[in-house]
Amino acid sequence: MFNRAAFLLLPALLILVESLKINELVKRVGRRSREKDRCLYHLECAWQQMTENQILNVKQNDSNRIARAFVYSTSAEDYAYQKSFDFLESILHPDMTAKVCGHDKDMNAIQYTKFLKSSSAHYKIFPYRNYAWDFEPTSERSNMNIKINVNQTDNLGAKVELYFDLTLKINVNSKNEFSLFQIHHIHQYGTCGEHGIVGYNTFRSIDEAEELKKTHVAKYFFDLITPSPYMDTANPGKIPMAWANGLKDFVTINVCRDGTTEPVTYTKAHFQAWYKRFAMLWHPAKDEAEPMKLQTIDFNDNGIVARITFKLQIGRKDDEPVHEWDIKFSAKNMSYSTDRVEVLCSPSFNLKEISLRAMREVITESFVDNIVSLPKPNHWYSSVEFVKLFTKTGTVELHHCDIRKTEVVSKFLFVLNEFFKKSLQVKLISSSTTEARSTM
């Protein structure tokens, strides 16, 4: 009986053993499947399983693509500029830093993209542009370095040498189809005509360039754009106007506009009016050791290309941040008459935003200064004279008392009634010759 029962249980035991074997096999296959799926969808795992040759191949392909995009994005004239710029912007790490031209303040991602966009408007791909790049292998599988060099010219005809040293790290969560790497740091140097410390771009030595500055025509030119208050004291209180007033009629003037690669062309009269209003809103930084600095970009027998850097504060508050304004200019044919001026955008601030914030202070102070300086006796209409300082065309629109709205007023004519000394007739001479009366 026992043998018969054991014989009947033997198949069941065999089935159980086989079932356990199958279950263990399924577990092992499942583990391998999950590991394979994890490496299929997780870049970090897949990257660790790659061979050194595979990683080197990925780095070389990505470095070529990134370096080429940098070259194309240096000039807005390039047909591939916009796509290249957008690609670079997409691979900047949010916490990246950029050391640009030896400036004492590093740029963040937003500031550097703004700088890259504005500077591209000043570089030309004709008559020539040469470039090269080099991928530097690193011991770290997740890091790589790229060195890029671009030679071209700027809008003022000066030779430009641009150097970029990039530090990149792999982004394991990357969804970018063109690069697995993100830029964590940029070191830019070279000619540096738009920002920071200018690197001399001339076949002459620095000493020879300094000697050229001492020639009588060159010295006259530098004296013109460096008025005596800036040479005598570090706190003159006003932005120099002499050089702007001394511009010739044939000068070409471009003023940068934030967020675009297309600078705005100004006439001489338009620029002088703009610069006058600019000087009302901005003033040299107080207690600044060097509120204005002049650097030569290119200096030879045929002319000069240089950049003026102003360290300025906006508005009337003493604790306002100090911002840098850069203006490039060129003078040709040894006459040293400026033939081109370019006002550059600053990457460190939004001009429209801070101007609107400071304008209220400037207008209020001008109003108070005007009231205080009025000779006595004075009348109500004298207090609005300060508005002329802020008008673009020299005309204003007046709202007062019973006068709901006048036309644009081009002139005020006041006739005082000498007999009663109480009534004032205000004739508002406009295109419709409107007359209005107001009783005081």
Residue 387 belongs to a domain: yes
Beta strand extents in 171-279 (DSSP E only): 181-190, 252-255, 264-266
232-244: burial string, b at 16+ Cβ within 10 Å, e else: eeeebeebbeebb
The residue among 355, 384, 418 that closes a domain is 355
**Residue 387: domain span:** 375-439
> Which tokens belong to 208?
């020879």
CATH classification of the domain holding 278: 3.10.450.50
Q: How many beta carbons lie within 10 A of that of residue 259, not counting itself? A: 11
125/260 same-domain check = no
pTM as predicted: 0.71
- Split into its structural domains, the chain has a count of 3
d(CA 58, CA 78): 27
214/342 same-domain check = yes
How many angstroms separate the Cα of 147 from the Cα of each of 114, 167, 168, 191, 196?
Answer: 21, 9, 11, 16, 20
Sequential pLDDT tens for the chain (440 residues): 545 555 555 555 555 556 655 566 555 555 544 544 555 556 778 888 889 999 999 999 999 999 999 999 999 999 999 999 999 999 999 999 999 999 999 999 999 999 999 999 999 998 889 999 999 878 889 999 999 999 999 999 888 999 999 999 999 887 888 899 999 999 999 999 999 998 844 444 555 556 555 555 455 556 656 555 444 444 456 788 878 888 888 899 999 888 777 778 999 999 998 898 888 888 888 888 888 888 888 877 778 888 989 999 988 778 888 999 999 988 876 666 788 999 999 888 887 778 777 676 666 666 666 666 667 766 655 666 666 666 666 566 666 555 455 444 444 433 333 333 333 333 333 334 433 333 33
230 and 222 in contact (C-beta within 8 Å)? no
53/186 same-domain check = yes
Residue 17 belongs to a domain: no
Taking the CA atoms of residue 62, residue 65, residue 67 and residue 68 in that order, the dihedral angle to the nearest 10 degrees is 170
280/342 same-domain check = yes
Residue 3 belongs to a domain: no
Residue 269 belongs to a domain: yes
Strand partners, 181: 170
303/391 same-domain check = no
314/383 same-domain check = no
Residue 83 belongs to a domain: yes
How many angstroms separate the Cα of 308 from the Cα of each of 100, 101, 122, 229?
Answer: 17, 15, 16, 16
